[in-house]
């Protein structure tokens, strides 16, 4: 999230630059256009109808109920997550009973210790001034939308306290590997040096975990606003990493001969540029539950859910 005149200036520049690059104007319908790599152009799925979603900062695709998405607001909201469907309707509001909402920036799915199930992880990691000595990841089991359709469901989340080994930093992206359960925080920087910090599984809720820096993402030489990471996700097969900025997206892939258990080799790969939907202050991105599309949504209401679908078949790779 960006605040104050700097944020306003940056968002204005981002939107204008994105429109020029894409040949469209923010606020108008997106046109289908070629995307670099193996994806088609972005298509509007729906407009989120819930007027409580005023600054959508994170999105994650439900594994329990494909076609539903967990969405949360940026800082200033109550500690809650909205479960929305592809018509834009909020199916469930999830209230985290024991949580605080300081600056929630991303949301991810993590493999549960109950085989075959997943947990929802909300990352309270925003730190524009790089002053916060301790950050929190809130984690709770995926919910059954049929349990309280359209109502509010209160859950008890487990809080995991984290800090970075080399001191505070601003970040807006948190991902979890769907097989290993390892979590990664990706920092947001103007200089294009996106540092990656690892929250190794199993996570410890009893004491603060200091995260080591394990990599720095490599980007092509482009304007800095194209490499400011505002969201990220790991594909359900554990072999791809996608990030977004205010102007575009990037995707890294493990080499076909590399086992997915060696996931961190992906940080040294060269990324492919993704042409995502042109959105004012876009800070949310996730893979679809089947890994065959990327979903994005903007912080600026009315929030439109966009989908960028894969056009190429899945790669063959090491088991």
Question: Residue 12: inside a domain, yes or no?
Answer: no
pLDDT of 1 over the 60 cut = no
Q: How confident is the model at residue 20 (pLDDT cuts 50, 70, 90)?
A: very low
DSSP letter (8 states) at residue 6? H
Question: Which pLDDT tens digit goes with each residue over 124-158?
Answer: 999 999 999 999 999 999 999 886 667 999 999 99
Q: Write the CA distances from 269 to 24, 29, 246, 263, integer angstroms.
A: 31, 34, 22, 11
Check residue 190 and give its pLDDT. 87
Question: Residue 242: inside a domain, yes or no?
Answer: yes
Query: CA-CA distance, 192 to 218, in Å (whole number)?
Result: 8
Question: Residue 6: inside a domain, yes or no?
Answer: no
What CATH number corresponds to the domain at position 285?
2.120.10
Question: Residue 3: inside a domain, yes or no?
Answer: no
Overall domain count for the chain: 1
Question: Residue 4: inside a domain, yes or no?
Answer: no
Query: CA-CA distance, 213 to 133, in Å (whole number)?
Result: 16
Query: CA-CA distance, 187 to 260, in Å (whole number)?
Result: 23
pTM over 0.85: yes
Measured in residues, the chain has a length of 319
Instruction: Give me the residues paired with residue 297 across strands.
Output: 284
Question: Residue 2: inside a domain, yes or no?
Answer: no
Residue 103: give the domain boundaries.
21-310
Question: Which pLDDT tens digit goes with each residue over 249-302?
Answer: 999 999 888 887 899 999 999 999 999 998 988 999 999 999 999 999 999 998
Question: Residue 97: inside a domain, yes or no?
Answer: yes
DSSP letter (8 states) at residue 28? S
Across the chain, mean pLDDT equals: 88
Question: Residue 7: inside a domain, yes or no?
Answer: no
């Amino acid at each position: 999230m960006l605040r104050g005149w700097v944020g306003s200036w940056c968002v204005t520049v981002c939107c204008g630059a994105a429109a020029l690059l894409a040949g469209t104007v923010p606020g108008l319908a997106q046109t289908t256009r070629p995307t670099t790599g193996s994806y088609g152009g972005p298509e509007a799925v729906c407009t989120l109808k819930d007027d409580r979603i005023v600054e959508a900062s994170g999105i994650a695709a439900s594994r329990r109920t494909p076609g539903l998405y967990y969405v949360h607001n940026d800082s200033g909201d109550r500690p809650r997550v909205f479960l929305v469907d592809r018509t834009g309707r909020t199916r469930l509001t999830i209230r985290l009973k024991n949580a605080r909402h300081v600056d929630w920036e991303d949301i991810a799915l993590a493999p549960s210790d109950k085989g075959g199930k997943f947990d929802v992880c909300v990352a309270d990691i925003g730190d524009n001034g790089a002053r916060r000595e301790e950050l929190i990841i809130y984690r709770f089991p995926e919910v059954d939308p049929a349990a309280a359709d359209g109502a509010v469901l209160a859950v008890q989340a487990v809080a995991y306290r984290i800090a970075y080994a080399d001191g505070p930093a601003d970040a807006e992206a948190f991902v979890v590997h769907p097989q290993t359960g390892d979590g990664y925080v990706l920092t947001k920087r103007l200089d294009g040096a996106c540092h990656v910090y690892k929250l190794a599984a199993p996570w410890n809720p009893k004491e603060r975990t200091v995260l080591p820096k394990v990599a720095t993402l490599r980007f092509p030489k482009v304007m800095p606003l194209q490499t400011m990471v505002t969201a990220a996700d790991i594909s359900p097969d554990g072999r791809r990493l996608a990030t977004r900025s205010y102007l575009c997206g990037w995707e890294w892939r493990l080499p076909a001969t590399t086992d997915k258990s060696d996931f961190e080799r992906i940080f040294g790969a060269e990324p492919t540029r993704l042409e995502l939907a042109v959105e004012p202050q876009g800070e949310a991105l996730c893979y679809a539950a089947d890994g065959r599309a990327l979903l994005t949504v903007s912080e600026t209401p009315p929030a439109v859910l966009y989908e960028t679908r894969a056009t190429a078949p899945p790669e063959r790779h090491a088991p």
